[in-house]
Structure 1
Amino acid sequence: MKNLTLLMLLLFLFGCGGKDAPRAPESSILVFPLKDSECTTGVSLSGSTSEVEFQWQASDFTETYQIRVTNLVTNVSQNMSTSATSIKLPLEKGAPYSWFISSKNTNVTETATSEIWRFYNAGFQTTYAPFPAEIISPKSGASVLRSANNEVELNWSGADVDNDIISYEVYFSINNPPETLVFSPFANDTDVNVTVAADTVYYWSIKTLDSEGNTSDSGVYQFKSL
């Protein structure tokens, strides 16, 4: 009798163990508004606002999507959740925005995040300022090892709807905000080496200039040199 009971217990345990564990959601692929573009399909709501429809592809193992849309001038964000793969939001005309999608399900704590895309919501202007430079490295708040020459490489990327960036201005110092112009590279140059001291916090920012005289500011980033 004991052997029969043990056999039944083992069959029960192995049978329960065959169930698949919940799967984490996968990242969604963004569709529209297009990356580094001018969105001209918004429906006008007023003289200053239009409604834009955001679209993305469905991702596996996802129950809901959370969209985050940020005005790159005011840094104000809209956050909305939906089970659909599109949503309409009111946006300021002529303003630059970034957006991304987080995929979620209730069975796991993990979420998946899409790429971050930027675009201009069409307004009345005929020329647009460049998008704020996107900082690649060092990440803000990072601790960074110096090279043998006591240098750290600053790296960023730039984009412009009009494709007319002519140069950048790199500001770098131990002060916040940094006011020392240390480098002014051309449009194709998106990195520079700066001299640093050990155990010191540095601040840096990028100003992007285009051929129409428009400019944008990346905001201030910081890192600590080791």
Structure 2
Amino acid sequence: MKYVKHIIELYIISFVVGVFFACSGGEGGEQPPKEELNPPEKAIGVLPANGEPCSDYEEIAENDTQVLISFSWNSARFAQSYEVIILEGSNEIVRKSVGGLHTEIELDRGKTYTWQIVSINDDGSSTSNTYSFTSPGIPQRNFAPYAATITVEFDTINSEMLISWVGSDEDGDALSYEALIYQSNELIYEFNDLSDTFLPPISYIPSREYSIEVTSKDSFGNFSISEVTVSTFSGF
């Protein structure tokens, strides 16, 4: 009887241990698949046209200081909604949630604005490049420069970024520039008081994200900020 009892006890212990490992997956068991995230891609602005006086607007009845300006952009993959952000200089003056690809916003006459579109879904968000325009009307002061149009090319042989930009100003003022380079949100390079519209080659590390911010300034103290983000995750 003792022998039979001992066999039964061993069987119960083995059964309990087996159940435990089955529930816990056991050591080296299959791990559940990781949930794949699909953050939205960047939207691309269409109107107002970048670096130009705004031509798509409506007059506002009994309001001679503002106009109703039309904004539109291309659909971004995986986006469920959008935010339109408008800045005057470095000051954010409008942030508007939009379900579609078009909206209208009242803005002051005779000013230069920069704007971006944020694509949003449940997995995250992506911010577009910076665009700029001048609203119609006589300026209350000298126009601010347009946001620079930034171009980034990659020399894959030497692992270098080639960064340049085009700046302009509605008044034709001479411009100077500042440039900041971020690697994964950490500032790695800073250039000040530039008259050239390009930087020396910048070394990059594969599988990193870089942001380039260019501030365009005129001699009257007006400025605008442009930013683009590039990814080296996919190779070139």
Task: Provide TM-score, normalisation by structure 1.
Answer: 0.54
Please list, as runs of the form range in 1=range in 2, the aligned pairs for 1:67-146 lying within 5 A after superposition: 67-72=84-89, 75-106=91-122, 108=123, 110-124=124-138, 129-131=143-145
C-alpha offsets along residues 178-219 of structure 1, whole Å, 9 cap, x if unaligned? xxxxx9876x5677xxxxxxxxxxxxx97414xxxx662469
Task: Please give the root-mean-square deviation of Cα atoms over the aligned residues, in Å.
Answer: 4.3
Give the secondary structure class of the aligned counterpart of 2:222: strand
C-alpha offsets along residues 46-94 of structure 1, whole Å, 9 cap, x if unaligned? 1000000100000111100011011238x24211111100110000000
Question: Residue 222 of structure 2 aligns with which residue?
Answer: 216
Count of matched residue pairs? 158
Equivalent residues of 1:98, 1:117 under 8 A apart: yes
The 1:27/1:165 distance shift into structure 2, 3 A limit, reads same
Say which one has the larger Rg: 2
Give the secondary structure class of the aligned counterpart of 2:218: strand
Give the % identical residues.
18
Where in structure 1 are there 5+ consecutive unaligned residues?
10-16, 137-154, 171-182, 192-204, 220-226
CA distance in 2, matches of 1:50, 1:122: 8
Question: What one-letter code is carried by the residue in structure 2 that aligns with 1:119?
Answer: F
C-alpha offsets along residues 78-120 of structure 1, whole Å, 9 cap, x if unaligned? 11111100110000000111100111112x1x21111011111
Find the partner of 1:64 among 81, 94, 118. Answer: 81
Please list, as runs of the form range in 1=range in 2, the aligned pairs for 1:11-90 lying within 5 A after superposition: 21-45=36-60, 46-72=63-89, 75-90=91-106
CA distance in 1, matches of 2:136, 2:93: 18
63-72 vs 20-29, which moves further: 20-29
Question: What one-letter code is carried by the residue in structure 2 that aligns with 1:159?
Answer: G
Give the secondary structure class of the aligned counterpart of 2:97: strand
CA distance in 1, matches of 2:169, 2:146: 12
Where in structure 2 are there 5+ consecutive unaligned residues?
1-14, 23-31, 151-162, 179-191, 200-214, 226-236
CA distance in 1, matches of 2:114, 2:99: 21
Give the secondary structure class of the aligned counterpart of 1:131: coil
CA distance in 1, matches of 2:33, 2:177: 59
Equivalent residues of 2:114, 2:224 under 8 A apart: no
Task: Provide TM-score, normalisation by structure 2.
Answer: 0.52
CA distance in 1, matches of 2:177, 2:84: 32
Question: What one-letter code is carried by the residue in structure 1 that aligns with 2:138?
Answer: F
CA distance in 2, matches of 1:218, 1:156: 16
Question: What one-letter code is carried by the residue in structure 1 that aligns with 2:85?
Answer: R
